Amino acid sequence: MSTTEVKVLGSTGSPFVMRAVIALNIKSVDYELLEQNLVVKSELLLKSNPIYKKIPVLIHADKPICESLVIVQYIDEVWTCGPSILPSDPYDRAIARFWAAYLDDKWFPSVRVIVLTAEGDEVKKETLQQVATGLELLEDAFPKCNKDGNFFGGERIGYLDIALGCFLPCLRVIEKVHNLKLLDEAKTPNLCKWAESFCSDAAVKDVIPETDKLIEFAKVLIAKIKARPSN
Amino acid sequence: MAEEVKLFRTWSSPFPLRIVWALKLKGIEYETILEDLQNKSSLLLQYNPVHKKVPVLLHNGKPILESLVILEYIEETWKQHPLLPEDPFEKATARFWARFNDEELLPSIWNASTKQGKEQEEAIVQVEENLKYVEEELKGNVFFGGETIGYLDLAFGWLANLVSVLEEVTGLSLTASGKFPLLSAWMQNFSDAPVIKECWPPRDKLIIRYQAMIEKYTAVAAPK
């Protein structure tokens, strides 16, 4: 299978793109990452994702697959010779899917608000509380999922590890820029240990963006948002 | 060992209805637990502490939450009458459109029904754009699942049930306009399917309910 048969339209720094890339790494699939300009979107991106015009898009044998969690499941179902990403038991799969949906629908919007809050600007208590609540829930969920392994997926990285782990760089940005502690040895010991295991995993370690680079990226986005109040 | 399947739902909410349809299509026996969302049962709160919502599927005592997650669970647990395509790309496509329904189409129709003035006009434009995408996705098939009802039909199914109710209550013309002939035909075919028909909440009760809901939202007129 040639490298160019699998492409990812993405951008280093995007947690959602990280999900797709980690999944491909788990399956040892060669792929080409096509860095996208998110201001002047390429024709390929607009053609591949006409509904949302967003990254990531996985292009496999010229067919586009959009939405990061849909992409991860697709990768799991196509490349069956690699390690499984979703658990094998339907109930465990439902739990993993439930938490992944929670992260995207309820939790990440608050994370995003804080990431896009400039240094020195006020971080609303309620927003911070929403982030903390999500982390507490995942902290409690961990021992119910991990079956004594280091990951939500057990012995190896799985669907929920990918769904949550992609946001670790965002959490680090928040901690550094706003001088906050989100992952805490006292309050979230499971997650602290899990984060270390996740970031040092072979499928992950080369794709985690450096915190400082991400801070710069966030600063650019913040400046853009402040310059264009209507968007 | 006998299977124990219970479904927590309300009489009208569209999301649990997806599960009712799925269980019926697969011929699975289950017990219904009707909830009053103004007065949630302690069991519901125990099984769904995070969202405190319906549907909750209880299978041999284990709760499964979120309607699309439940549909996949049902599909993976009971293999008869498959709801999802086998091909991974077609599966991914179905999942994509189901999320589109929940995140874009449904909220846009709700906005069009509850907003006023310029906001409503903009919402209607968005609805038409979204419906156009859905119309195209039918690709001339009877159902989104092809020849038979599948996962995506169940995800979109609320349209066949509720859009005409919302149109009657608000006076809007969303699909009634005739602009989306394939979608309108699908709505009819879906509604006419015996398994779907026998689970329809009564229309007159729905009209009353949504009239009250919309009046409440438009009276408040506060930003959400």
- Tell me what the mean pLDDT of segment A61-84 comes to: 97
Residue B47 lies in a domain: yes
Question: B-chain residues within 8 Å CB-CB of A91?
Answer: 59, 62, 64, 73
Q: Model confidence over B4-45: pLDDT tens digits?
A: 999 999 999 999 999 999 999 999 999 999 999 999 999 999
Shortest CA gap B153–chain A (Å): 18
Region A174-178: mean pLDDT is: 94
Q: Kindly indicate the confidence band of residue A22, based on its pLDDT and cuts at 50, 70 and 90.
A: very high
Q: Is residue B83 part of a domain?
A: no
The answer to whether B210 touches B165, Cβ cutoff 8 Å, is yes
Q: Any residues with CB less than 8 A from the CB of A49 and at least 6 apart, and which?
A: A9, A55, A57, A64, A66
Using CB atoms, pick whichever of A51, A73, A91 lies closest to residue B95.
A73
User: Residues of CATH 1.20.1050.10 domain(s) within chain A?
Assistant: 90-211
Tokens describing residue A7:
């492409």
pTM: 0.95
What's chain B's length in residues? 224
CA separation for the pair A205, A214 (Å, rounded): 15
Coil, strand or helix at A88: coil
Averaged over B192-211, what is the pLDDT? Answer: 93
pLDDT band at B221 (very low <50, low <70, confident <90, very high): low
What fold characterizes domain A90-211? Glutathione S-transferase Yfyf (Class Pi); Chain A, domain 2 (1.20.1050)
Please judge whether A97 and B69 are an interchain contact, meaning their C-beta atoms are less than 8 angstroms apart.
yes
Taking CA atoms, A176 is separated from A134, A182, A187, B204, B214, in Å, by 19, 10, 18, 57, 45
Co-location of B39 and B122 in the same domain: no
Contact A98 B69 (CB under 8 A): yes
CA–CA min distance B92, chain A (Å)? 6
Q: Look at the alpha carbons of B43, B48, B53, B59 in this order and tell me if their dihedral is positive or negative.
A: negative
B207's tokens = 């009209």
For residues B62 and B120, membership in a common domain is answered with no
Residues B96 and B31 placed together within one structural domain of the fold = no
The answer to whether the CB atoms of A65 and B92 lie below 8 A apart is: yes
Distance to chain B for A225, nearest Cα, Å: 21
Tokens read off for A193: 């240990």
Q: How many domains does chain B have?
A: 2
Backbone angles phi, psi at A185, to 5 degrees: -55, -30
Q: Read off the CATH number of the domain in which B97 is found.
A: 1.20.1050.10
Record the tokens describing residue A189, joined without a space. Answer: 């010991």
pLDDT confidence of B124, banded at 50, 70, 90? very high
The answer to whether the CB atoms of B69 and A102 lie below 8 A apart is no
SS (H, E, C) chain B: CCCCEEEEECCCCHHHHHHHHHHHHCCCCCEEEECCCCCCCHHHHHHCCCCCCCCEEEECCEEEECHHHHHHHHHHHCCCCCCCCCCHHHHHHHHHHHHHHHHHHHHHHHHHHHCCHHHHHHHHHHHHHHHHHHHHHHCCCCECCECCCCHHHHHHCHHHHHHHHHHHHHCCCCCCCCCCHHHHHHHHHHHHCHHHHCCCCCHHHHHHHHHHHHHHHHHHCCCC
SS3 A64: strand
Domain span including residue B211: 88-221
| Residues B60, B102 within the same domain | no
Separation of alpha carbons A153 and A122, rounded Å: 36
Chain B residue numbers touching A98 (CB-CB < 8 A): 64-66, 69
- Establish, for the pair of chains A and B, how many residue pairs have beta carbons separated by less than 8 Å: 55
pLDDT in tens, B51-62: 999 999 999 999
Q: Which CATH number fits domain A6-78: 3.40.1620.10, 3.60.20.10, 3.40.30.10, 3.30.450.20?
A: 3.40.30.10
Mean pLDDT of B89-115: 96
Q: Which residues contact A160 (CB under 8 A, 6 or more apart)?
A: A95, A96, A99, A100, A145, A152, A153
Contacts of B133 in chain A (CB under 8 A): 51
Chain A residues in contact with B96 (beta carbon < 8 A): 65-67, 70
pLDDT of residue A2: 47
Nearest to A65 by CA among B72, B84, B58, B97: B97
User: Is A74 in contact with B77 (Cβ distance < 8 A)?
Assistant: no
Contact A74 B89 (CB under 8 A): yes
B82, part of any domain: no
